[in-house]
Chain A
Amino acid sequence: MSRRTRVAIPIVLGALAALAVEIFDPEGPWLVLVLLGAAIALGELLELRPAGRAPLPLSYAFIVVLVRAGTPSQVLATAGAALAIAFVLRPEATLWRRCYTTAVRTAAVIAALVTYTVVMERVSIADERWLVLLALVAAGAAEIAASDLLTALSARHSAFATQGRTADLAIIASGALMAISLDGIGDRDGMGLWGPTLFAIPLLAAWFAFEQVAAIRRTHDQTIAALSVVPELAGLVRTGHAERVAALSERLGAELGFEHEQIAVLRSAALLHHLGHLCLDDDAERERPVEPWEVATKGAEILRQTEELTPAAAILDGSDTSVASHILRVASAYDELSEGDPSKRDAAIEALHLGPGYVYDVRVLAALERA
């Protein structure tokens, strides 16, 4: 199923259900609930993806609206139906992942519902407007907290990451705004369905902007990875060398406590560490074979011309004084020695240990044995 089809299905289903409600039961509360259900199902497919944070579905904003708009049983019925539709439409490949995500979302709905109810019943604030706003914001925060904790159990994102939290703010603020604009509070009328419809626009704009960011990041990573295979296609190094060295460098970096950003720089340096070879290779008058240091120096010279890859250049030519240069040296030598064959691992590690200590750092070698 293409993404477009998946997004169209909740919209069409929502429209049909709304039409049915208008015909058969125009007086009941179901029109709003059906439309919110459709919005939740759709919102499940549209996620805010800031860097360094687990993706945050737009449905969380609509769940806050639903919690305010319906009775607890209506909330559970509507959210349940929406999540069931979303279960079928989810892009996740395995059944297990779909079940897991659906369980996380269910927990989020319950967290929002319980928090909202508890605040409304237990907290006493004279002005009802402030009470409702507090309950809505608390419900939004609670569902995101529940979802983050559960997601962190199975993913590499930490539940306590500080990056990308502005997305949380956008969800919570929009949820509260849509909720109060739908029905109003106390004697202040709402604006009906116009309210959530219009106040969803900034949220959709944020989603679109985050999608653009993710797309350009992906293109960028793919560009670096694509350039990394040029030396392989030119027959200068073994096929897959760049990718294997990059993967091993990432593992070693993580093992030695590197931050997310440092690992990204290390990965770029590892992918492009043979790039300089392309510019050295075929000097017709060359009398001796190309030395590794020449490749590294030439590569660093090229990368340093760009602002973005300057840190990677420092890793290549060793002017980076952290252990990163040593990681890359060990990872590259290891791949040369093991010839990309896992069964030659022990022999390769032994050969590295025999190398001079100032070339192969002992900390990195220790990490290599653990990795």
Chain B
Amino acid sequence: MSATTVTHHFDRLTTFILVLTGATVALGLSLALGAPMPAVAQVAVFAALFALAENQVAVLPNRASASASFMLAMAAIVAFQQDGPALAALMVGLAGGLYWPHIRSGDWRKILFNASNFALSSCAAAVVFSPLVGHTGARASTVLLLASLPAALAFSVVNLVLLAVVVSLATATTFGETLRELRPRFVQILPFALLGVFMGRLYLDYGAIVIPLFVVPILVARQAFASYLALKDSHQATVRILIGALEAKDQYTAGHAERVADYAVMIGREMRFTTPRLERLRFAALMHDVGKLVVPNHLLNKPGKLTAEEFDIVRRHEAVSVEILTRIDFLKPVAPSATSEAHRMSEGADDADRPIEPFIVAVADAYDAMTSTRSYRKALPQEIAFEELRKNAGKQFHPKVVEALIASIERAGARHGAGFEEQPHAFAVEPPTVGTGSAGLGDLADARSAPAPHAEAAP
């Protein structure tokens, strides 16, 4: 992007935000002059809670911040139904600009935009909601609940449209694309809208005492969720580092597990796995070769072919990997990923009994093995690796998985293999440039084609 376009975008963006802020202020003033004023101190309580909810954004899943703060806007609309709900909603929404990271960095454009956006969308919700509940005095539960649906819709439409305008002005994405990406938020908002309506209703009857009763369980849930995220990060970091450190005993395959995990996740994404399933896949891929730790280094890195006896020792590592993986309940369903059994292709439908994960790890493993230099041969070029995977698709590898990996790598424009290795090693004995193999366990190709007596003995 050239300097001129940056300035150009900057100008249009700033102008839009200033106009939006001006409109918000004008609307607020006209409402204040024409309608009853809600009690400022009471509105301030809701505004403070709204700002608090906005600042929790980092720990909530799927950026559900808008939903949690919308709950408070709805509560304010119900609580001030008799005295200026639109103005109350607008004032509470303004607090949405008070997001601490923006304040700390002095990013006034973001502060102004968020404040105006939340104020206008909350106000829109109030404008839709108030006539619907009309003169029922905002007490009949069914009316309140029904009216909160269009109110939530109004809130999310205004919120999303304004957000999409800003995102399309600030980045290269178009308005339509941004809107499509943001659309799923409406569904998240609904339960919060209903909760907010009831909170406002209780506030009308009992005053501020209900606020702690309402907020405490939400804060407890939030705190538990935050500690879950922290624990998950710490667990992932620990496993990654431990596996990396242990793997470092064999300097020639260092980084293998992590690269396999990365390829596996790429395949999983391509196959549209859910986030929890991707996490399990990454974990399983990291652990897939843990059994290799029981194999002595001099066998792992033996140049050339292994004897039948050595091959037997090396083969034992797969059983050990399975043994280790099945000790972890979370990985048990995908544990066969470490056996040769999984490498053999069958129809391989993806269901609970025959998950596709083992096939994914097998392909990721083979791809990394082929594109890395090993003691027994140099790294192959990426094209040869693709060709090899495709040639064995349906026999050794799952065809869908192979295509997913290739599609994902090609789309990302990534390059691996000969000439693109990150840290190629200097070998005492220069490895040959021919031959393919798997998993860095010596050149097994010959052992496979001429079955050694022990070759199929491992479970």
Q: Mark B72-83, 1 if CB is under 8 A from A, else 0.
A: 000000000000
Interface of B is mostly: helix
Q: How large is the interface on A (under 10, 10 to 19, 20 to 34, 35 or more residues)?
A: 35 or more
Q: Is B218 close to A, CB under 8 A?
A: yes
Residue of A nearest to B299 (CB): A282
- With A212-B228, A213-B231, A279-B249: A166-B223 Cβ-Cβ less than 8 Å: yes
B191-231 CB mask vs A (1 if < 8 Å, else 0) is 10011001001100110011011101111111111011001
Contact between B202 and A177, CB atoms less than 8 A apart? yes
Do B228 and A216 have beta carbons less than 8 Å apart?
yes
Taking a contact as CB atoms under 8 Å apart, the answer to whether B202 and A282 are in contact is: no
Min C-beta distance of A304 to chain B, whole Å: 9
> Which segment of A7-15, A103-111, A221-229, A350-358 sits at the interface?
A221-229
Number of interface residues of B (CB under 8 A): 57
Taking a contact as CB atoms under 8 Å apart, the answer to whether A176 and B324 are in contact is no
Residues of B within 8 Å of A234, CB to CB, are 293-294
CA–CA, A202 to B225, complex, Å?
A: 12
**Interface stretch of the complex, out of A30-38, A114-122, A184-192:** A184-192
- If A170-B217, A198-B194, A223-B239 touch, whether A191 touches B327 (CB-CB below 8 Å) is no
- The answer to whether the Cβ of B320 comes within 8 Å of any Cβ in the partner chain is yes
Q: Is A302 touching B202 in the complex (CB atoms < 8 A)? A: no
The 8 Å CB contact of A166, one of B195, B214, B220, B231, is B220
CA gap between A219 and B330 in the complex, in Å: 6
- Per-position binary interface string of chain A over residues 176-219, scored 1 when its CB falls under 8 Å from any chain B CB and 0 otherwise: 11001100110011011011001101110110111011011111
Partner of A173, one of B145, B212, B225, B323: B212
Stretch at the interface among B152-160, B240-248, B342-350, B416-424: B240-248
**B246–A191 CB distance below 8 A:** no
Find residues 95-144 in chain A having any chain B CB closer than 8 Å to their own CB. 129-130, 133
Evaluate contact between A306 and B246: CB separation under 8 angstroms: no
Chain B residue contacts of A291, Cβ below 8 A = none
Contacts of A235 in B (CB 8 A): 294
List B contacts of A169 (CB < 8 A).
216-217, 220
Is there a chain B Cβ closer than 8 Å to A278's Cβ?
yes
B329 at interface by CB-CB < 8 Å:
yes
Q: Is A327 an interface residue (CB 8 A)?
A: no
Chain A contacts of B103 at CB under 8 A? none
The secondary structure that dominates the A interface is helix
Taking CB atoms, residues of chain B closer than 8 Å to A173 are 212-214, 216-217
Q: Is the CB of A233 within 8 A of B198?
A: no
B297 within 8 A of A: yes
Q: Is A305 interfacial (CB-CB < 8 Å)?
A: yes
Name the B residues within 8 Å of A174 (CB-CB). 213, 217
Question: Looking at the complex, which one of A195, A198, A203, A278 makes contact with B249 (CB distance below 8 Å)?
Answer: A278
Contact in complex: B324, A230 (CB < 8 Å): yes
Q: Which of B141, B228, B245, B293 contacts A213 (CB 8 A)?
A: B228
Contact B212 A306, beta carbon cutoff 8 Å: no
- Whether the pair A307, B234 counts as a contact (CB closer than 8 A) is yes
Q: How near does chain B come to A59, taking the closest CB pair, in angstroms?
A: 15
Given A199-B198, A279-B248, the answer on whether A191 and B141 have CB atoms closer than 8 Å is: yes
Using A173-B213, A219-B328 as known contacts, say yes or no to A278 and B246 having CB atoms under 8 A apart. yes
Q: How far is the CA of A40 from the CA of B323 in the complex (A)?
A: 41
Q: How far is the CA of A233 from the CA of B227 in the complex (A)?
A: 34
Query: B272 interface residue, CB < 8 Å from A?
Result: no
Q: Tell me which residues across on chain B come within 8 A of A209, comparing CB atoms.
A: 221-222, 224-225, 228
A309 lies within 8 A of chain B by Cβ: yes
- Contact status B324-A222, CB under 8 Å: no
B435 CB–A CB distance under 8 Å: no
A282 in contact with B201 given A177-B210, A229-B327 (CB within 8 Å): no
Most buried by A among B216, B248, B298: B216
Contact present for A229 and B324 (CB under 8 Å): yes
Residue B139 lies at the interface, judged by CB distance under 8 Å to chain A: yes
**Inside 8 A of A202's CB, which chain B residues have their CB?**
195, 214, 217-218, 221
Contact pick for A170, options B220, B238, B239, B298, CB 8 Å: B220
CB distance from A111 to the nearest CB of B (A): 21
Contact call A227/B221, Cβ cutoff below 8 A: no
Asked, given contacts A173-B212, A189-B139, whether A206 binds B224 with beta carbons under 8 Å apart, the answer is yes
* Complex contacts, B183 vs chain A, CB 8 Å: none
B182 interface residue (CB < 8 Å to A): no
B328 touching A222, Cβ below 8 Å: yes
B245 touches A302 (CB 8 A): yes
Whether, in the assembled complex, B401 has its beta carbon less than 8 Å from a beta carbon of chain A, the answer is no
A220 sits at the interface (CB 8 A): yes
With A170-B221, A177-B202, A180-B206 already in contact, the answer to whether A194 and B216 are too (CB < 8 A) is no
- Verify B234–A222 contact, CB threshold 8 A: no
A43 CB within 8 Å of chain B: no
* A259 interfacial contact with B, CB 8 Å: no
Q: Are B328 and A226 in touch, CB under 8 angstroms?
A: yes
Cβ contact within 8 Å between B238 and A309: yes
Q: Mark B156-192, 1 if CB is under 8 A from A, else 0.
A: 0000000000000000000000000000000000010
- Interface of B with A (CB < 8 Å)? 139, 141-142, 145, 191, 194-195, 198, 201-202, 205-206, 209-210, 212-214, 216-225, 227-228, 231-232, 234-235, 237-239, 241-242, 245-246, 248-249, 290-291, 293-294, 296-298, 320, 323-325, 327-330
The chain A residues found within 8 Å of chain B, CB to CB, are 50, 129-130, 133, 166-167, 169-170, 173-174, 176-177, 180-181, 184-185, 188-189, 191-192, 194-195, 198-199, 201-203, 205-206, 208-210, 212-213, 215-220, 222-223, 225-227, 229-230, 233-235, 275, 278-279, 281-284, 302-303, 305-309
Closest 7 pairs between A and B when the two form their complex, measured CB to CB: A209-B224, A234-B294, A282-B296, A206-B221, A202-B217, A226-B327, A170-B220
Cβ contacts A to B, 28 pairs, < 8 Å: A50-B224, A170-B217, A177-B210, A180-B210, A181-B202, A191-B141, A191-B198, A194-B145, A198-B198, A199-B195, A201-B191, A203-B217, A213-B224, A215-B330, A219-B328, A219-B329, A222-B329, A223-B328, A226-B328, A229-B327, A233-B320, A233-B323, A275-B246, A279-B249, A282-B297, A303-B242, A306-B237, A309-B238
